[in-house]
Structure 1
């Protein structure tokens, strides 16, 4: 393809270069703002097309003004760069379309291979002209091939965008522009082949230049319109998604608490007008934390999704199914009136949830509790009905881990008291109103001080000193047990550190920790930080857990106990005998002490041969066989102490020897203990010295 008027070709190429370079900067601006990969590809395509047009204009001008001869090295290099940039820009256009259609850019390795192929193809044409510099058909073939390839690529892109793109004005403008550009280039090739010497007339070249500018302008306008339409569509979808998330749970797709609260008044009104009884069932999974620890967070999520599917597949279908918190779901029905039938339905739902679940070849066993509140029996107001269903669930979880409980009058009293206590307890935590008392623990036979147990008290601003029974149940219901444990541990560490600074030798202090804290994955790391901050050894603080805490998830409990033992932190089983573990489990637990509950000690003297004596004696002998020390709690009489000494109980604790004392008295007891020890040591030394 030969151009008869070099000046006209130069002007056409220069105008095209200015248009494409400017459009490339506009696309780059949009890419920096919207961060869409196809905009980056197309901005580079515009720049490369523009740069190709610059080299084409330079070539036409140099030939027209005879600054360069046709066979010169400089001219051949310009032609090579023009062809390379043209083919690379065509590849970039294709990558942009691929990203739009697949919403994913081609892999970088494939893009590099295409770039290399484009350069090699351009180099082949350049090399052919270098071999036959005097053959005019080589130049015509090279340019004709370039127009043919670009025409076919542009035509293909236009057709793809037309059939695969969104049916809106932007994509259609782009499609029309690319199709017309492709047809124009193919028409030029056809005209060139039909003309003498494959040359284009001045009129044809002028006309194609105008068409090129017009079609590229249409494509530019279409791209901008498409971009704006696409962003508007994305914004609309984001708003729809946000609106969906406002009313639905992101994990399960069920309605969330907010949507349920909005929906309940309508359900109540519907039941009222049709004289039906609306039943709310709140379903709470038991010990879901252990499942999360066993399967991991993702495994726990899959369990929740499966539970939601089981609830959504219930027959008869519920009026609504919602997830109102992490492991709590709610379903509503209005087809039953008899209480017995409602209870039967609740138990069938409970059984459906508790059916074995297979997760990654592991069998997951769930248990759940169900709390039920009904309209109009329990309330005619939506908020109250939901609150009472939650209260019934709390009662179900507290009384029996797998029970179905209906709300009854009076259940709300504890709940109301909890609401009243919450601000007071928060103020107590914030204002440091809690204090520690330490109860000494003595060796059984010699009555020597061996350690302390930290016991929390609340110095209430108006009610005085309150025992744990007055506030610990509310702390647990509010979910603040871990926060309180952290306070007790830090306070205990501070006491030990202060005694050391005062020159006192210390003895270990035992601290009770709750079930949630024991199962918390951060427990070990927090303890390490605590001991490091106060410069304590791991033997300075002992931990006490109830047997139920250790047995809730035996494998997880063993893992935590093993990590504590590896650090050197001693652990005791508190209130042993009151939980649901058996003596067989005692062998598996890596603990140092067993603390016998005071309920067994209080019954020791009723009958010398009663069952309590047999149990305590057997427990002491078994513990010694397993190399575990035994502590008897609640020793209040000399007779109890004598009996325990006869059973070879290692340590005792109770009001007979010392009640819980404040920190100052505990320091005095500690100082007296070490003075007595020094006196005994000196006396023994005098007996040995002749």
Structure 2
């Protein structure tokens, strides 16, 4: 029996699929029962059939895999109805079963395979053409094996459901729902791949930024529905001009981008762009009304004007604005003079370096509350820069620039220390016994000592590890491998929480959610802001919440601003919310007053 248990343990721990688990169990079942044919069936009651999924035969009697027999004619159905699990005289008990007669079954033992909700999946059976006595422990072993298979079936079905939801989420998140074209996120990813191919094959790539001149007048004159129909028609016309390897995407509003691969020269690029201009200058018919509009097109080329997607899109955008300033309805190639002066960039960098040296940053805190009762669950620390000329500016206006200039690490370290210090101070006053969330950039995450640095900050500030959460974006996790897992495991060993920020805007991969020790999914505000009126966004939010619940991860919706959104998220089972409906981000003093006034610690 001990050998059997060892085999069973090994089979259960290594099984990835129902088949992986069932085949060794059938072999063990033969050894336990002494019956030479063991098999697993699936029951399709709607079709009235029973199917043999997997079978093991060690005698002349063969029960083939793939065999289908009428459910009403099976021994399994009779055994279930009579509550009989064993008989050594099948002809005497159930002589009317044509399937049993055809197979020559005389001894038969079976147990139903059920899933956790009690639903019948099939039966686990053993049979022989000879009369065999009932083996000791056969009932117990058969019951155990049937239970284990039922659990594996349920797990496999859940994984299939999650994968389907994940595919739906990825598809919706990457597509412009009006035109069916790739959206901005999908464009950036696809363009980066096309640039990588261009680098490998030494091919030029053209990025054309298209803006429709006077589009607002269509909405104002004919209405937004006509405007939407016009945008769909523009998308179709663009696709009709492009080659199979080219790409058209909609950024939003009346802005489109076309990416052309294998462009031979600037002259060739001009010829192709002129075809786009010609196609767009034609008459569009919307609701039997002729509409004529012109596009302004800006062109940037790889490698002349940039080596990554962000650079080329910026350059093409600058060229498009130059086309508008040059009379509209034309195309312009990017020229460095179209950019802001390089001196402005250097000055911006100098101001940011001075801000780091002078500590010209401050943190604002935004509460996260539990939907079920409004109890405070956490605070997110959001950095602001006290700009010497523009006043207080948000992270969207300087974080990306700081990353590009190698300045994000000192900013990130200051944010971490200050957030931990402030939370510890509040806790000393009896406030905010909840974690504070701090965003970690990709550059900081790649540092090999990031876990050690966080541990040092916790020791210095005296903050307990369970009161710190680290927020990472999906792209950070997707572009890391073993080092990411090591770092996350080190953080979890410290007791620090880990959240995926802006979930749904990147890869939304079920694989990394299962692989990494993640605690929370934060639903990006871009999916929340148009709910409950936008059905596509509601579908995305629903899928994320269901995915989180299935994987036992907390879900936090960002950017919640209305009571209607609160009710929708509560109904969908979202755990926590964050947004103006709770409180705007507040500087430390105001946040402390908010904590005291709301008595949120429960």
TM-score, normalising length: structure 2: 0.46
TM-score, normalising length: structure 1: 0.40
Between 1 and 2, higher relative CO (CA 8 Å, sep ≥ 6) is seen in: 2
- The structure with more radius of gyration: 1
Structure whose residues are more often helix by fraction: 1
